[in-house]
Amino acid sequence: MKNRLQYLDSARGFAAIAVLIFHAVLSFGEIYPDLKLISDFFKAYFDLGKIGVIVFFVISGFVIPFSFKGRGINALKSFAVSRFFRLYPVYWLSAILGFILYQNYSWADLAANFTMLQQFIGFPNIIGLYWTLQIELIFYFLIAITFIINRLNQNKFLFYTSIIFLLIATMMAYVRGLYAIKLPLAVPLALSLMYFGSYFRHAVINHVIEAKFLSKIYIIVYALLIPLISWWGYQIDFGFDESWYKYVITYYSGLALFLLIIKLKFSNSISSYLGAISYSVYLFHPLVILILSHQLFGFISNGYLKVVFTLLLTITFSSLTYRSIEKTAIKIGHQIRNQIVKQD
């Protein structure tokens, strides 16, 4: 199992670096002419950042449903504890630093962001990419309900749920296109991919024939519906360089990249380490980009060099936060979780 999970770490590492490169290129592409070509390509055709996010979502579905330990209410408690200590401590640091660096948020915004529920209660994200974490929380809630009703290991139930979310995305896309209403298509699409990951795991790790068959059916349905969802939902640009063909390319590429990594089981020490620190890389790279955008760093005259510098500085800082905050918090979470499980 350990070797199998190592290539998941590699997938996380690739995903985090993809998001970082995308944001760095788009940010610095407005300043450095040498980045304009690739920046325009990302904007028009290839959303590398969202491709990385899609990989993250499928990995969550692949891993999270199988992190329940124990039985009944204690299993739910242990799950909540492990998720809390995994997500929140280092996230709080990013929120505080974002609050200080951006200087355009109120104390109420910071307090709301500390809950990670800010968008649900009408407050802005201090760092824009926090929207993905709130989808993660929705998935945790739904997967906890799936556990309560004892359907966590029933492949057909997980499959039908993933298809239902695809159909919800399709209906939302139709309404979005017809009435020009900015409905959040990313939410049902992400939840669909997460539920897909939950039974795809049975196909990959346990070699369950039913799970393999259902996974193939999902991929076919996904491939057929994504162009329709993109055509209806993204013909109108709501200010995010949206186009239907870019989203087709993006959603196809995101799932294809995940499947390729799983098939090849690619992993090495570097990619595994990047996977280990990927959460910190994801959280802190926008702040590193913000700092490097300051005129103090104007002496760097090459855009590609600026992106590389962003990558190195983010990895360095993320290594520190991983060792000092993430590992400690995860260890505390495991200790509390083990105490809860022993009560069974």
Can you spell out the DSSP letters for 27-66?
HHTTT-GGGHHHHHHHHHT--HHHHHHHHHHHHHHHHGGG
Given this model, what pLDDT does residue 66 score? 85
**Residue 82 carries which side chain, given as an amino acid letter?**
S
- What's the full length of the chain, in residues? 344
Asked if residues 222 and 162 have their Cβ atoms less than 8 Å apart, the reply is no
Q: Please return the burial class of 343, using the count of CB atoms within 10 Å of its CB with bins 0-12, 13-18 and 19+.
A: exposed
Given this model, what pLDDT does residue 3 score? 44
pTM: 0.93
Given this model, what pLDDT does residue 20 score? 97
Q: How many Å apart are CA 64 and CA 197, to the nearest integer?
A: 10
* Cβ-proximal residues to 204 (8 Å cutoff; 6+ apart), any chain: 4, 262
Q: How many Å apart are CA 161 and CA 157, to the nearest integer?
A: 6
Q: Please return the burial class of 336, using the count of CB atoms within 10 Å of its CB with bins 0-12, 13-18 and 19+.
A: middle
Q: How many Å apart are CA 186 and CA 192, to the nearest integer?
A: 10
Q: What is the mean pLDDT for each group of 10 consecutive residues in the chain (344 residues)? A: 69 95 94 93 94 97 86 87 95 97 95 96 95 96 94 95 98 94 94 97 94 97 97 84 91 96 87 94 97 85 93 97 96 88 68
The residue with tokens 């970082």 is 20
| Sign of the CA dihedral with 317 first, then 134, 197, and 75 last | positive
Q: How many Å apart are CA 52 and CA 282, to the nearest integer?
A: 10
Given this model, what pLDDT does residue 1 score? 39
**Residue 267 carries which side chain, given as an amino acid letter?**
S
The 10 Å Cβ neighbour count of residue 38 is 19
* Cβ-proximal residues to 116 (8 Å cutoff; 6+ apart), any chain: 87, 88, 91, 130, 133, 134, 137
- What are the tokens at 115? 């809950």
